[in-house]
Each structure stands twice: as C-alpha cells, then as structure tokens.
Structure 1
Amino acid sequence: MSDPLTTSFGHIIRQRREAVGLSQEELGAKTNLSRNYIGMVERGETNPTLLVLHGLAKALNTTMRSLIDELETGTTDKKP
C-alpha cells in the first residue's frame, strides 16, 4: 500500500503534468526518466529523490518549493 504523503505528491505531479499538457512519456523524456517511473511517482508507489524532484519541477515549469508547498498545504487545485 502507498504512503499517504507519496500518494498526495503523485496527485500533484499528475495534475501539474496534465495542466501543462504533457503525457507521461513526454515528462519522462524531459526528465530522463522512464514513463513507467513517472507512473509510479504519480501513483505514489515510489518516493522520488531530490534530484528527481528538481527534474520534475524544471520539466513542469515550476519550482521544487512550489511542489512542496502544495504538498504541505494540501491544495491540489493550484495552477503550475
């Protein structure tokens, strides 16, 4: 079973990815991660490292801080 924190983070990544119009495959290409790994992040099945977080933020045209702030406040309706 996934941890609630990683699940919440995954929802944020999925929402941000969809908001900028990227597929999992496209986000994977921008971050040098596989589509499968992006899916695992979005489902909360893995806990990404700081380097992965940095790459995701950059590819999603946002900041690490913005992603973490959203995670901490629990607001997943923000725009990227």
Structure 2
Amino acid sequence: MTRFEKVQGLIQKAGKGKVAVEKIVPAADLRSDLGLDSLAMMELLVLTEEAFGLTISKEDAVATKTVGEMIAYIDSHVTA
C-alpha cells in the first residue's frame, strides 16, 4: 500500500465513509472539496499521527489544506 492509498483510507475513515475515494486526489481541499468538518479534521489528525507515528502541531494541522499538502507533510516528517 502506498502512502497516498493509506492517506485515502484515513480520509475515508475520518469522513465516516461519506467521501468517495475517487474524490480524494492531491489537489482536493480537505474541507471544501471533501466536506470534512472540524470534528472530522480532528479525527483525521489523530488517525494520521497514529498511522505514521507523528506528532503534528496545531499550526501545521491548520496550515494543511489539501490532500497533497498532507502527503508532503508526512513525506517530510517520516523516515523511509
């Protein structure tokens, strides 16, 4: 499973299955395009931290707007 596929799964889980996998593309905005509300965003944050062994600051979480930015953040903070 690629990192992108793992992120797609986390987004679907946080969105309670309401987000179609084909909509989860790098350019998609987590809030406006995928419809994640503040509660879903918090759940996504926790799921991401657990899945990748990260601690994400509030500032970084708020600054991350798109799926692509999320993956870039993970890529830059996770060692191979």
TM range (shorter): 0.3 to 0.5
The answer to which structure has the higher helix fraction is 1
> What is the TM-score of this pair, normalised by structure 2?
0.43
> What is the TM-score of this pair, normalised by structure 1?
0.43
Relative contact order higher in (CA < 8 Å, ≥ 6 apart)? 1
